[in-house]
Structure formats: structure tokens, C-alpha cells
Structure 1
């Protein structure tokens, strides 16, 4: 399987996941303080929304790459 076909499949899967889930969230530590034996850290939860148009464009680009790769072979 060529690299172009693998990239096309990855784009299609990423586009489908973007449409199904609509976004993802992650947690990061923003501040950490140590006062003697005590330790304080703040964890901040971030959410990233994936626009619908980005998912559709990823699927279309992956499909276009698959068509291009199959015609070239």
C-alpha cells in the first residue's frame, strides 16, 4: 500500500471521527506551587471543537487522494 493511500485513509478516518465526536478535550497543568511539605497544582481542562466543515473537507480530501492514487496506479 502506497503512502498516498495511507494518508487518504487517515484523512477519511479523521474526518469521520471529527463529525461523530465534534471535538475533544484534554487536561493540562497550569501552575504548581510548593510550600514546605505541601504541594499545590492546578489542572485546567481544555476543550477543542472540530468544525463540521473541517470534517467534511478531510473526508473529501481523503476521497480525492484515493481516486488520484487509484487512477495513477
Structure 2
């Protein structure tokens, strides 16, 4: 397998993952106050949504790259 075909497969897999999950979330620690040796931290949960059009675009682009890579071989 060459690099072009691997890139196409990766784009398809990432597009499918983004389409079915819709996004991901993570927890971030933030320092709210620091008074001398005492420190107050707050845990914030942030989420990132992946638009469906971006996921579908990645799938289509991956398919195009995969087909073009197969034609050059």
C-alpha cells in the first residue's frame, strides 16, 4: 500500500467517526483563584462538535483519493 491509499483510508475512517459520534468532549482544569499557597481550581467540561458536512466531505475526499491512488498504481 502506498501513502496515497493510506491517506484515503484514514480520511474515510475519520469521516465515519466524526459522522457517527458528532463530536467529543474533554475536561480542562482552570485556576480560579490563587491566594498564597492556597489554590482554587475549577474543572470545566468543554465539547467540540463536528459538523456533518465536514464528516461527509472527508468521506467523499477519502474515496476520491483512494480511487485516484488505485488508478495510478
**TM-score, structure 2 as length reference:** 0.87
| Structure 2: stretches of 5+ with no match in the other structure | none
Structure 2 match to 1:19? 19
| Structure 1: stretches of 5+ with no match in the other structure | none
Counterpart Cα distance in 2 of 1:67 and 1:48: 31
Q: CA RMSD in A?
A: 1.5
Pairwise CA distance, 1:40: 2.2
Counterpart Cα distance in 2 of 1:30 and 1:6: 39
**TM-score, structure 1 as length reference:** 0.87
